[in-house]
Structure 1
Amino acid sequence: MAKVFSREATGLTREFGFLDAFLLNMAVVNVAGGLAYDILQLFFFPGASLPLVFLLGGIPAFGIFLVYTSLSIIFPRTGGDYVYISRIVHPTAGMANAWLNILGFFLFTLTGFNAWYVVYTGLPSLLTSLAVSTGDMGYARIASFIQTNITFDFALSTIVLIIGACIVMFGLKVFKWAFRLIFVYYFLSAALLAALLLVTNHTMFINAIGKDTYSNVISSASQMGVYRFSLTETLLAAVPLGFLTFTGFQSSVYIGSEVKNVKRNQTLALGVSMLLTWVYLVVLAYAASNIFSNSFLQAASYLWATNPSAMPFSATPFITFLLSIIYRNPAIAFLLNSVPVVGGFLLIPSTILASSRILFALSFDRILPEWVSHVNERLRSPVYSVILMMVIAEIWVVVLYFFGYISTWLSLSLATPPGLVDHRYCSHSASFLKTKIKHAGSAKMAPCQATRSSCNGLGRRDPTRGYDCLARIYVFANHKLPIPWPSDLLSNRGECGNHRSFIGALLRCSPLQKKAGLRPVPGLP
Structure 2
Amino acid sequence: MLLTIINSIFVGDVVLEKEVFIRKASGLVRPYGALDVTLIYTLIIFAILNTTLQLAWFHGFWPGADLPIGCLVGLIPTLLVAFAYWAIAVSMPRSGCDYVWFARVTHPAIGFGWSLVYFYMYLCAAFVTICFTYGYTISMALVAWGMLYNAPNLVSIGTWLQSTTGSFVFALVIMIIYCILNILGYKIAKAILYAGWIIQAIALIAMWYILGSITPTTFAAKWDSLMSNYVTYDGVFKLSESAGWSFTPISFGPTFSSVAFTFMLLSGAAFGAGTISGEVRDVSKSVPIGLILSNLFSCAIWSICDITLLHATSYKWFSAISWLWASGSAEYPLPFPPSMPLMIGIAAYPNTSIGLLALTTFVLANIAFPYVTLMTAARYWFAWGFDRLMPTKLAEVSTRFKTPHYAIIVTTIIAIISGFLFAFLGFANWFAAVSTVMVLCYAVIALSVAIFPYTKWRTLLDTLPKFMRARIAGVPAITIISAVGAIILFYAAYAVSVNPLLTANANLAAILFGSIFVGGIILYYIGKAYWAKKGIDITLGFKEIPPA
Q: TM-score, normalised by structure 2?
A: 0.73
The alignment of Structure 1 onto Structure 2 pairs a total of residues equal to 453
The counterpart of 1:189, out of the listed 189, 198, 203, is: 203
How far does residue 14 in structure 1 lie from its aligned partner after superposition? 0.9
Indicate whether 1:45 and 2:62 are aligned.
Answer: yes
For 1:239, the equivalent position in structure 2 comes to 260
What is the rounded CA distance, in whole Å, between the counterparts of 1:319 and 1:153 in structure 2?
18
How far does residue 4 in structure 1 lie from its aligned partner after superposition? 9.9
Contact 1:87 1:485 in 2 (8 A): no
How far does residue 215 in structure 1 lie from its aligned partner after superposition? 0.9
Contact 1:13 1:380 in 2 (8 A): yes
How far does residue 324 in structure 1 lie from its aligned partner after superposition? 2.0
- In structure 2, the residue corresponding to 1:224 is in which secondary structure? coil
Change (3 A) 1:343 1:359: farther
Structure 2: 5+ residue stretches without partners? 8-18, 484-536
Change (3 A) 1:137 1:308: farther
For 2:493, the equivalent position in structure 1 comes to none
- Give CA deviations for 1:151-177 in whole Å, capped at 9, x if unaligned: 344222211111111221111221111
Indicate whether 1:202 and 2:216 are aligned.
Answer: yes
How far does residue 312 in structure 1 lie from its aligned partner after superposition? 6.5
For 2:139, the equivalent position in structure 1 comes to 124
The counterpart of 1:388, out of the listed 410, 434, 442, is: 410
Alignment of 1:59-98 (within 5 A): 59-98=76-115
How far does residue 221 in structure 1 lie from its aligned partner after superposition? 0.6
Q: Which amino acid aligns with 2:268?
A: G
Change (3 A) 1:416 1:73: closer
Indicate whether 1:347 and 2:347 are aligned.
Answer: no
How far does residue 216 in structure 1 lie from its aligned partner after superposition? 0.8
The counterpart of 2:240, out of the listed 196, 221, 240, is: 221
Q: Percent identity of the aligned residues? A: 21
- In structure 2, the residue corresponding to 1:13 is in which secondary structure? coil
For 2:33, the equivalent position in structure 1 comes to 17
For 1:271, the equivalent position in structure 2 comes to 292
Contact 1:46 1:230 in 2 (8 A): no
Change (3 A) 1:191 1:51: same
Change (3 A) 1:353 1:311: same
Say which is worse superposed, 96-105 or 331-340, in terms of deviation: 331-340
Indicate whether 1:57 and 2:77 are aligned.
Answer: no
- Give CA deviations for 1:40-70 in whole Å, capped at 9, x if unaligned: 1222222222222122111111112222223
The counterpart of 1:377, out of the listed 392, 399, 405, is: 399
The counterpart of 2:271, out of the listed 232, 251, 268, is: 251
Indicate whether 1:178 and 2:192 are aligned.
Answer: yes
How far does residue 35 in structure 1 lie from its aligned partner after superposition? 4.1
What is the rounded CA distance, in whole Å, between the counterparts of 1:152 and 1:239 in structure 2?
31
- In structure 1, the residue corresponding to 2:23 is in which secondary structure? coil
- Give CA deviations for 1:346-392 in whole Å, capped at 9, x if unaligned: 43221211121121112112222211100110111111000000000
Indicate whether 1:33 and 2:55 are aligned.
Answer: no
The counterpart of 2:319, out of the listed 298, 323, 326, is: 298
Change (3 A) 1:377 1:194: same
How far does residue 319 in structure 1 lie from its aligned partner after superposition? 3.3
What is the rounded CA distance, in whole Å, between the counterparts of 2:373 and 2:20 in structure 1?
28
Say which is worse superposed, 76-85 or 313-322, in terms of deviation: 313-322
Structure 1: 5+ residue stretches without partners? 439-445, 455-483, 495-499, 503-525
Q: Which amino acid aligns with 1:195?
A: Y
Say which structure is richer in helix: 2
Q: Which amino acid aligns with 1:143?
A: G
Contact 1:4 1:366 in 2 (8 A): no
The counterpart of 2:165, out of the listed 134, 141, 151, is: 151
Contact 1:82 1:95 in 2 (8 A): yes
How far does residue 260 in structure 1 lie from its aligned partner after superposition? 1.3
What is the rounded CA distance, in whole Å, between the counterparts of 2:60 and 2:89 in structure 1?
38
Q: Cα RMSD between the aligned structures? A: 3.6
Say which is worse superposed, 279-288 or 350-359, in terms of deviation: 279-288
- Give CA deviations for 1:372-422 in whole Å, capped at 9, x if unaligned: 100110111111000000000001111022455477569868988986674
The counterpart of 1:138, out of the listed 143, 153, 156, is: 153
Indicate whether 1:323 and 2:340 are aligned.
Answer: no
How far does residue 28 in structure 1 lie from its aligned partner after superposition? 1.4
How far does residue 330 in structure 1 lie from its aligned partner after superposition? 3.6
- In structure 1, the residue corresponding to 2:258 is in which secondary structure? helix
For 2:447, the equivalent position in structure 1 comes to 425
Q: Which amino acid aligns with 1:367?
A: L
- In structure 2, the residue corresponding to 1:221 is in which secondary structure? helix
Q: Which amino acid aligns with 1:324?
A: G
For 2:129, the equivalent position in structure 1 comes to 113
- In structure 1, the residue corresponding to 2:191 is in which secondary structure? helix
What is the rounded CA distance, in whole Å, between the counterparts of 2:538 and 2:87 in structure 1?
20
Contact 2:214 2:312 in 1 (8 A): yes
Q: Which amino acid aligns with 2:239?
A: S
The counterpart of 2:390, out of the listed 368, 384, 408, is: 368
- Give CA deviations for 1:428-481 in whole Å, capped at 9, x if unaligned: 44699987649xxxxxxx999655999xxxxxxxxxxxxxxxxxxxxxxxxxxx
Contact 1:102 1:358 in 2 (8 A): yes
For 1:512, the equivalent position in structure 2 comes to none
Contact 2:215 2:311 in 1 (8 A): yes
- In structure 2, the residue corresponding to 1:250 is in which secondary structure? helix
What is the rounded CA distance, in whole Å, between the counterparts of 1:246 and 1:410 in structure 2?
15
- Give CA deviations for 1:163-209 in whole Å, capped at 9, x if unaligned: 11122111122111122222221221123223334433333323322
Change (3 A) 1:266 1:413: closer
Q: Which amino acid aligns with 2:185?
A: G
Change (3 A) 1:429 1:334: farther
